[in-house]
Structure 1
Amino acid sequence: MSTETHVKDVKPGLKNLSVIFIVLETGRVTKTKDGHEVRTCKVADKTGSISISVWDEVGGLIQAGDIIRLNKGYASVFKGCLTLYTGRGGELQKIGEFCMVYSEVPNFSEPNPEYLAQMNKTVFHFVLVTHQGLNDQSNMNSSTAAPAGIILMCNMFFLQ
């Protein structure tokens, strides 16, 4: 097991995190296209607060006031906000209730200009291809011919 990490030390890209926190708020359930349930909870330790994304039935078991140990978690940026996740094989273990010293500030899941700047380095490269010439190929039958109009292809890559 990894050593305990405080909320203030959680950074994007960190893996195999072990964090102990108290649940301050549980968010509403959102259903994904695949039918999974996900909710975001606000959690905190003595160094600050952060959001954690919790999936499926585990999310329904978590309540405000629960003290939980996250094992094998990871941190990532979602919509410009730092968020904790349970990793593959990760677990949330309830270890107590209500009695924990915590601080809601700083909130490390607030939108962060550094994370937003990092996201702005993402470049969207658009390639426009007209249908002209695609339908002219003799080896294409009408069922495989490209539709009239413009095909928009998007390639996304990250500048380092």
Structure 2
Amino acid sequence: MKVSELKPRASATVTVKVVKLGEPKQVTNKDGSLHKVSDVLVGDETGSILMSLWDENISKVNENDVIEVNNGYVSVVRGSMRLTLGREGKMEKSSQNIENVNTEKNLSDQKIEDSGYRGGYRRSFNRRY
């Protein structure tokens, strides 16, 4: 899959090059636990997207690394698409080479309507069994 093919709220397996590392920020989870998150600009020749890295994953990448994201997820954060590992995703360095990254087509710059639906099963309580 190429970056330009990523869709909101969909799983993603993609190989990308790290273009720019963002400064880690400390955030408080709903349960009160503290975490670090960093937005990292990644992409390929078809486009780019911000990837949210959490906690120990932040230190696993450097600028110009090429990484494979397997079973990742495209979330919508404040109307903006973000690539994330999600619960089932994995990230590892790749031996592939990506020369040029298309930063002009940044998918995170597109405004996405966020319906609030977070995936999984949508339950219908009016259904009769």
> TM-score range with shorter-chain normalisation?
0.7 to 0.9
Is residue 16 of structure 2 the alignment partner of residue 21 of structure 1?
Answer: yes
- What number of residue pairs does the alignment pair up? 112
Kept after mapping to 1: 8 A contact 2:15/2:67: yes
Equivalent residue runs for 1:69-80 within 5 Å: 69-80=68-79
The CA deviation at 1:100 is 2.7
Match of 1:12 in 2: 8
Gaps of 5+ in 1: 123-160
Give the partner amino acid of 2:55: D
The CA deviation at 1:80 is 1.4
Match of 2:92 in 1: 93
TM-score, with length taken from structure 2: 0.79
Post-superposition, which runs of at least 4 consecutive aligned residues in structure 1 deviate over 3 A? 96-99
Once residues 92 and 99 of structure 2 are traced to their aligned partners in structure 1, the CA distance between those partners, rounded to angstroms, is 15
The CA deviation at 1:60 is 1.4
Once residues 99 and 52 of structure 1 are traced to their aligned partners in structure 2, the CA distance between those partners, rounded to angstroms, is 17
Question: For the pair shown, which has the larger CA radius of gyration, 1 or 2?
Answer: 1
The CA deviation at 1:62 is 1.0
Match of 1:102 in 2: 101
Kept after mapping to 2: 8 A contact 1:23/1:65: yes
Secondary structure at the residue paired with 1:57?
Answer: helix
Determine what percentage of the aligned residue pairs are the same residue: 29
TM-score, with length taken from structure 1: 0.64
Kept after mapping to 2: 8 A contact 1:7/1:47: yes
- Higher RCO (CA-CA < 8 Å; seq separation 6+): 2
Summarize the Cα distance change of 1:98–1:28 in structure 2 as closer, same or farther, 3 Å threshold. farther
